[in-house]
């Protein structure tokens, strides 16, 4: 019995230690999104591909963290959702002038889906209303792990 428990503990410990606790496994559909975004780790390529409109400055919220700068592909701002083509890519500005892709935001304007309508849903997550910008939004932290959650609004590991 002792040998069996020791062997079982060793297997569990090996599996637990094989995962990087700072980058939890993303759901399969989010991993597919992350793979689709590989070319856009370069902001220059993202801009050439239509994500050239900065719709925010670098957004931060004290201890809750930051988002970064949102670059939108404005022709995607409608009621249609495509899990592999977000409306905005989010970049963290670097001290060296380079920007790092940290995540995305799926955006549906209130003009397309009114604020009084049921919230859009993607990846099994309900979008949050943003009255300031007049949109429904869903953040997905594809390229920077977030201790607050993959779909949290703010990421304490992002800096402005």
- In this predicted structure, what is the pLDDT of residue 137? 98
What pTM value is reported for the model?
0.83
Delimit the domains of the chain by residue range: 26-140
Nearest to 151 by CA among 131, 115, 123: 123
In sign, the C-alpha dihedral spanning 57, 59, 62, 63 is: negative
- In this predicted structure, what is the pLDDT of residue 11? 33
Instruction: Evaluate whether 89 touches 51 at the Cβ level (below 8 Å).
Output: yes
- In this predicted structure, what is the pLDDT of residue 78? 96
- In this predicted structure, what is the pLDDT of residue 25? 78
Low-confidence ranges of the chain (pLDDT < 50): 1-23
């Amino acid at each position: 019995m002792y040998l069996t428990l020791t062997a079982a503990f060793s297997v569990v410990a090996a599996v637990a230690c094989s995962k990087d606790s700072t980058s939890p496994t993303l759901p399969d559909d989010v991993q597919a999104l992350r793979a689709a975004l590989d070319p856009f780790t370069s902001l220059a390529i993202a801009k050439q591909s239509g994500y050239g409109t900065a719709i925010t400055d670098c957004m931060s919220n004290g201890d809750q963290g930051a988002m970064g700068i949102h670059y939108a592909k404005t022709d995607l701002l409608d009621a249609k959702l495509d899990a592999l083509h977000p409306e905005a890519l989010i970049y963290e500005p670097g001290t060296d002038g380079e920007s790092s892709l940290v995540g995305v935001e799926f955006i549906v304007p209130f003009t397309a889906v009114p604020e009084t309508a049921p919230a859009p849903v993607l990846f099994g997550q309900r979008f949050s209303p943003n009255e300031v910008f007049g949109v429904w939004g869903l953040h997905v932290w594809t390229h920077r792990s977030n201790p607050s959650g993959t779909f949290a609004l703010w990421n304490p590991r992002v800096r402005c």
